[in-house]
């Protein structure tokens, strides 16, 4: 997949840098925190491409005190000779859009990236950029300022024995809403790259804190799977295989653990495809077929038994599917381009997975038997649950309106388009909510204590749990693969908990539940978290006035202009509010602060969900803060 026949002349020139500064979003997605970090990925991707082409094994990223990023590699060095345009090639690569060997014909482009436009885009959006190329025994350097305006010519600084490229840039504060780089974010991405490219050493240094870490994985994605499963009980050693057919190379590592959830994380050209795509599909199809064919052949299934279903077989599976697709046939789909579209990827991943996995199963028959048994248990549980639901529906018809739990206070009118369901922590807050609500369109379901941690239990147990069964029944749209958003009884499902650690735990548990069993609810933006105020402030005077504050700053602001005898009460829980207060502050659509849950990157969240389910409250809070982004209800422009 690599091609060496380009040096200084096969680089095509298309467009100037002003376009990038005018419409940064078109090139890097956004100018917020996400876009800012995209700059880092672009520069790192260039070095990774060089490593993948077989040059250089170590990449170092430095976050500077001056808000800069420096990326160093030990590849061949950016070419510095004369380009067909008359300029030197280094200048062309970093000042002309779409320039770089990656574009046009004959070049490699292995890292996908959102737009993959590389160094010139970063230069356009930087207030400072310095490119140093160690090549042909010399140190070459060029400096740019103010969005890619060159300061002087290409200089030769001296002699060197090494080769490689160092790029330093400072993001332009006029373009980005924030220019503070996030160590953890960069670390995660760098670590992911190290897993995906065996033996590539990735270093990260933060000069602001003097933190420093290195990642290198001799066994690549096999170690990735082991690390994801490290707090679980695997039932076998990781199964790894790789192969290449035509323009597509496939690498897979998989392992079954003794729990029930499924994690498939897929990559195309080292970029995470968060919405899956043809490669993931091919993998799933092959896995189902391999297990079924094997089961028939070795009589693990009787003749009259139906085939095992994919979702049952994948129970407890952790897998990394990493493919490299040649640029000529690379297609992405979806709004954020997070889904591989290349049709050939399905066929080829299917073919390779089927062949290699069958071989593995034949060589590990006892393990195959265990996995098939597990799938049969899952299948039976699903059937039993389906039967129970049908029975419940029949019972309901018999007895007219019956609430499974008897706890739901339904909305007065049945209107799926406007009705809201409040899931309320505790019976006492549930009581106030029932009294305070607008009963025409608001339904209340109090949840007693902690809901079941569905990560620690199988589907069978999850569905036996009263709170969960009640939620599924109340929402009315089934669950799992049978979930049907059209049947959902509510426009908004609002989690209302105390603003403390227990409350955060309940939020995580509920979000995990929705994530696992009713994912389209989250994707459709129907899941919300209510934000109760932290303070009640009563201003005494001729007329008493009550004001609520949601943050410390808000409270201080209010107190600045308040008389001395003003009373401040800190709410510790929802239970301290009476029905009217709860309505005024937290439930009334006119005055409440409701936030919509967007799990930005579902499979990233997935990687961490198991970590969260322990007893560490601070970690849960962190998870909520970094994986779940919140949009204020009235900012949604509905």
Binder among 31, 46, 489, 497 for ligand 0RA (CB under 6 A): 46
Residue 270 binds ligand 0RA (CB under 6 A): no
- Cα separations in angstroms, 394 against 390, 404, 604: 6, 13, 40
Closer residue to ligand 0RA (CB): 46 or 442: 46
171 binds ligand 0RA (CB under 6 A): no
Choice between 47 and 322, CB closer to ligand 0RA: 47
In 53-182, which ranges are continuous DSSP H helix? Answer: 89-95, 119-124
Least distance between ligand 0RA and beta carbon 100 (Å): 6
| CA-based nearest residue to 388, from 459, 438, 452, 455 | 459
Quick one: which segment of 43-51, 256-264, 515-523, 557-565 binds ligand 0RA (CB under 6 A)? 43-51
The answer to whether 522 and 599 are in contact (CB under 8 A) is: yes
Nearer to ligand 0RA, 204 or 361 (CB): 204
Separation of alpha carbons 505 and 426, rounded Å: 13
| Greatest Cα-to-Cα distance within the chain, rounded to the nearest angstrom | 90
CB 430 within 8 A of CB 500: no
The least distance separating ligand 0RA from the CB of residue 76, rounded to whole angstroms, comes to 4
Binding ligand 0RA (rule: CB under 6 A), the pick from 27, 31, 37, 50 is 50
Helix, strand, or coil here: 529? Answer: strand
Strands 492-496, 420-425: parallel, antiparallel or unpaired by DSSP? parallel
Contact residues for 147 (Cβ-Cβ < 8 A; gap 6+):
17, 18, 20, 21, 123, 124, 125, 126, 127, 172
Q: Scan residues 497-536 and list those touching ligand 0RA (CB under 6 A).
A: none
Angstrom distance (rounded) from CA 47 to CA 361: 38
Does 81 help bind ligand 0RA (rule: CB under 6 A)? Answer: no
| Binding window for ligand 0RA (CB under 6 A); candidates: 69-77, 229-237, 320-328, 431-439 | 69-77
Identified binder of ligand 0RA from the candidate list 21, 37, 38, 76, rule CB under 6 A: 76
Exactly one of 35, 79, 426, 533 binds ligand 0RA (CB under 6 A); that residue is 79
113 sits near ligand 0RA (criterion: CB under 6 A): no
Interaction between residue 75 and ligand 0RA (CB under 6 A): yes
135 vs 437, beta carbon nearer ligand 0RA: 135
Residue found by looking up tokens 């409250």 in the block:
617
Considering only the stretches 75-83, 148-156, 442-450, 454-462, report the one whose residues sit in contact with ligand 0RA under the rule CB under 6 A. 75-83
Instruction: Please choose, out of 74-82, 296-304, 307-315, 571-579, the segment that lies near ligand 0RA by the rule CB under 6 A.
Output: 74-82
Check residue 21 for interaction with ligand 0RA (CB under 6 A): no
Confirm or reject binding of residue 47 to ligand 0RA (CB under 6 A): yes
Among 28, 52, 62, 78, binds ligand 0RA (CB under 6 A): 78
| Cβ pair 125, 28 in contact under 8 A | yes
Least distance to ligand 0RA, CB of residue 139, Å: 15
C-beta closer to ligand 0RA: residue 199 or 258: 199
Report the residue number, 78 or 599, with the smaller CB distance to ligand 0RA. Answer: 78
- Closest approach of ligand 0RA to the CB of residue 78, in Å: 5
User: Min. distance of Cβ 75 from ligand 0RA in angstroms?
Assistant: 4
- DSSP state string for 455-469: GGS-HHHHHHSHHHH
Q: For residues 73 and 206, which CB has a smaller minimum distance to ligand 0RA in the complex? A: 73
For the bound state, the minimum distance from the C-beta of residue 317 to ligand 0RA, rounded and expressed in Å, comes to 37
By beta-carbon proximity to ligand 0RA, the closer residue of 93 and 411 is: 93
Residues binding ligand 0RA: number (CB under 6 A): 11
* 317 and 375 Cβ atoms separated by less than 8 Å: no
Only one of the segments 46-54, 370-378, 453-461, 501-509 lies at the binding site for ligand 0RA (rule: CB under 6 A); that segment is 46-54
- How far, in Å, CA of 633 to CA of 630, rounded? 9
The answer to whether 496 touches 436, Cβ cutoff 8 Å, is no
Choices 44-52, 182-190, 296-304, 467-475 (CB under 6 A): range interacting with ligand 0RA: 44-52
Beta-carbon count within 10 A of 184 CB: 9
Is 73 near ligand 0RA (CB under 6 A)? yes
Q: Is 277 in the site for ligand 0RA (CB under 6 A)?
A: no
Instruction: Give me the residue label for tokens 């999850």.
Output: 462
7 near ligand 0RA, judged by CB under 6 A: yes
Within 5-32, residue ranges assigned H as helices are 18-22, 24-28
The least CB distance from residue 129 to ligand 0RA, in Å, is 12
The stretch among 76-84, 189-197, 228-236, 509-517 that binds ligand 0RA (CB under 6 A) is: 76-84
Q: What whole-number distance in Å separates Cα of residue 489 and Cα of residue 450?
A: 24
Alpha-carbon distance of 283 to 634, in angstroms, equals 41
E strands, 357-462, in order: 420-425, 442-447
* Selection from 289, 319, 313 nearest residue 378 by Cα: 313
Nearer to ligand 0RA, 189 or 382 (CB): 189
Q: Per rule CB under 6 A, is residue 449 in the interface with ligand 0RA?
A: no
Site string for ligand 0RA, 406-445 (x = CB under 6 A): ----------------------------------------
Asked if 101 is part of the footprint of ligand 0RA (rule: CB under 6 A), the reply reads yes
Instruction: Specify whether the CB–CB gap between 307 and 374 falls below 8 A.
Output: no
**Phi, psi for residue 569 in degrees, rounded to 5:** -120, 130
- The number of residues making up the chain comes to 638
**Would you state the torsion angle of the CA atoms of residues 217, 222, 225, 226, taken in this order, to the nearest 10 degrees?**
-80
Contact status: 165 vs ligand 0RA (CB under 6 A): yes
Q: Determine the 3-state secondary structure of 57 from DSSP.
A: coil
Q: Where are the beta strands (DSSP E) in 207-262?
A: 211-215, 239-245, 248-256
Question: What is the closest distance, in whole angstroms, from the C-beta atom of residue 57 to ligand 0RA in the complex?
Answer: 13
Half-sphere exposure of 198 (CA within 13 A, CB side): 10
CB of 42 to ligand 0RA, least distance (A): 10
Q: Count CA within 13 A, CB hemisphere, residue 87.
A: 17
| Residues annotated as part of the active site | 425, 498, 500, 502
Helix H or strand E encompassing 362: helix 343-363
CA distances from 238 to 74, 351, 358 (A): 32, 20, 15
Q: Which residues lie near ligand 0RA (CB under 6 A)?
A: 7, 46-47, 50, 73, 75-76, 78-79, 101, 165
């Amino acid at each position: 997949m690599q091609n060496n026949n380009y040096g200084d002349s096969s680089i095509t020139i298309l467009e100037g840098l002003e376009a990038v500064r005018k419409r940064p979003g078109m090139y890097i997605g956004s100018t917020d925190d996400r876009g800012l970090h995209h700059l880092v990925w672009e520069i790192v991707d260039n070095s990774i491409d060089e490593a993948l082409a077989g040059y250089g094994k170590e990449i170092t990223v430095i976050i500077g005190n001056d808000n800069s990023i420096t990326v160093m590699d030990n590849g061949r060095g950016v070419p510095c000779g004369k380009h067909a345009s008359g300029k030197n090639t280094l200048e062309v690569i970093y000042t002309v859009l779409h320039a770089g060997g990656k574009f046009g014909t004959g070049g490699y482009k292995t890292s996908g990236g959102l737009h993959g436009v590389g160094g010139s885009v970063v230069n356009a959006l930087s207030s400072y950029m310095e490119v140093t190329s160690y090549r042909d025994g010399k140190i070459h350097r060029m400096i740019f300022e103010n969005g890619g305006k060159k300061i002087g010519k290409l200089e030769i600084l001296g002699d060197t024995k090494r080769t490689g490229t160092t790029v330093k840039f400072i993001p332009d504060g006029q373009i980005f809403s924030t220019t503070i780089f996030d160590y953890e974010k960069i670390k995660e991405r760098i670590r992911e790259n190290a897993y995906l490219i065996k033996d590539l050493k990735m270093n990260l240094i933060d000069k602001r804190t003097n933190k420093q870490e290195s990642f290198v994985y001799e066994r690549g994605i096999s170690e990735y799977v082991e690390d994801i499963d490290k707090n679980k009980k695997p039932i076998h050693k990781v199964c790894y295989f790789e192969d290449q057919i035509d323009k597509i190379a496939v690498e897979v590592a998989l392992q079954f653990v003794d729990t029930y959830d499924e994690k498939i994380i897929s990559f195309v050209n080292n970029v995470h495809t968060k919405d899956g795509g043809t490669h993931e599909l091919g993998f799933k199809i092959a896995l189902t077929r391999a297990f079924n064919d094997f089961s028939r052949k070795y009589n693990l299934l009787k003749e009259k038994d139906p085939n095992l279903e994919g979702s049952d077989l994948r129970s407890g599976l952790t897998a990394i599917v990493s493919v490299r697709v040649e640029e000529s046939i690379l297609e992405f789909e979806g709004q954020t381009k997070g889904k591989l579209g290349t049709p050939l990827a399905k066929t080829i991943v299917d073919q390779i997975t089927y062949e290699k996995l069958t071989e593995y199963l034949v060589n590990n028959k006892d393990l195959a038997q265990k996995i098939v048994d597990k799938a049969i248990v899952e299948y039976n549980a699903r059937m039993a649950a389906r039967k129970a639901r049908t029975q419940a529906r029949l019972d309901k018809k018999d007895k007219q309106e019956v609430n499974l739990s008897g706890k739901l206070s339904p909305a007065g009118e049945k209107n799926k388009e406007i009705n809201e369901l409040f899931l309320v922590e505790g019976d006492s807050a549930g009581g106030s909510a029932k009294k305070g609500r607008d009963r025409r369109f608001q339904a209340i379901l109090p949840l007693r204590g902690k809901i079941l941690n569905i990560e620690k239990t199988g589907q069978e147990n999850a569905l036996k749990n009263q709170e969960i069964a009640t939620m599924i029944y109340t929402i009315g749209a089934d669950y799992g693969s049978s979930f049907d958003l059209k049947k959902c009884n509510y426009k908004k499902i609002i989690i209302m908990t105390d603003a403390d650690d227990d409350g955060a735990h309940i939020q995580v548990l509920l979000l995990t539940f929705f994530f696992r069993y009713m994912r389209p609810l989250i994707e459709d933006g129907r899941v919300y978290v209510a934000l109760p105020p932290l303070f009640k402030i009563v201003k005494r005077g001729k007329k008493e006035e009550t004001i609520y504050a949601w943050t410390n700053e808000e409270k201080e602001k209010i107190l600045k202009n308040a008389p001395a005898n003003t009373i401040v009460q800190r709410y510790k829980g929802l239970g301290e509010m009476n029905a009217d207060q709860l309505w005024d502050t937290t439930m009334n659509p006119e005055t409440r602060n409701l936030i919509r849950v967007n799990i930005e990157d579902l499979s990233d969240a997935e990687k961490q969900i198991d970590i969260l389910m322990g007893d560490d409250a601070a970690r849960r809070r962190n998870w909520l803060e970094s994986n779940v982004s919140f949009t204020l209800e009235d900012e949604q422009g509905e």
